Amino acid sequence: MVLKRYQRAKTGFEALKSFDANKYLKKIGLGKEDYYFWKQVGKALLCTYTLFGVAWIYNETSPLGWWTLKPKPKEEKELAHLYERIKFPYPGDTEAMEEFLKKGGMIGSVIGPKGTIESDKVKKELQDKHFELEAQKLWLRMRNEVIQELQERGYDVE
């Protein structure tokens, strides 16, 4: 029997050959036995992100809107053109920028309404509707007062 007192130090290629990466990978759950599990996890992540990506693209480009089952109110449909997404030209492209400005592109933004002409028109329509409602309320109130007075005097009014 031969006693081993000191082992020769391994350097360079010898040290690299003796290093067993699988031993360390197995300890953290990445060994050859775990290959199938991680393959399934990868497939699941790929499918999930694909579905989210398709939904996101559909949301951006759909003519139907995102929640098609929920009906939009009439007011929202009428004002939808005010909140359209604006495609801005690339900075430095002078032709596209001039064309963009001719169309009145910088008047509004993605969030706010486009331009003063349209908003004045919409304001006027809303104001007309408001006046119409107020006039109708006033008319009904006056009519009810007249009916009440006539009933107090003894006339039969329906």
The per-residue pLDDT for range 108-150, each reduced to its tens digit, is 444 334 444 455 677 788 889 889 999 999 999 999 999 999 9
Greatest mean pLDDT among 21-25, 85-89, 141-145: 141-145
pLDDT recorded at residue 136: 94
pLDDT recorded at residue 89: 81
Which whole-number Å values give the CA distances from 46 to 43, 92, 137, in the listed order? 5, 38, 60
- Please check whether residue 113 is in contact with residue 83, taking contact to mean a CB–CB distance below 8 angstroms: yes
- Please check whether residue 32 is in contact with residue 22, taking contact to mean a CB–CB distance below 8 angstroms: yes
Which whole-number Å values give the CA distances from 101 to 9, 17, 39, 121, in the listed order? 75, 68, 53, 21
pLDDT recorded at residue 115: 47
pTM for the predicted model, two decimal places: 0.31
pLDDT recorded at residue 32: 84
pLDDT recorded at residue 81: 72
pLDDT recorded at residue 62: 65
Choose among 37, 76, 148: nearest CA to 67. 76
Residue 7 has pLDDT above 80, yes or no: no
- Please check whether residue 113 is in contact with residue 82, taking contact to mean a CB–CB distance below 8 angstroms: yes
Mean pLDDT in the chain? 78
CA-CA distance, 128 to 113, in Å (whole number)? 20
CA-CA distance, 121 to 81, in Å (whole number)? 13
Instruction: Tell me the three state secondary structure of residue 34.
Output: helix
pLDDT greater at residue 108 or residue 80? 80
Confidence of residue 44 (pLDDT cuts 50, 70, 90): very high
CA-CA distance, 113 to 80, in Å (whole number)? 10
Q: Is 107 exposed, middle or buried (0-12, 13-18, 19+ CB in 10 A)?
A: middle
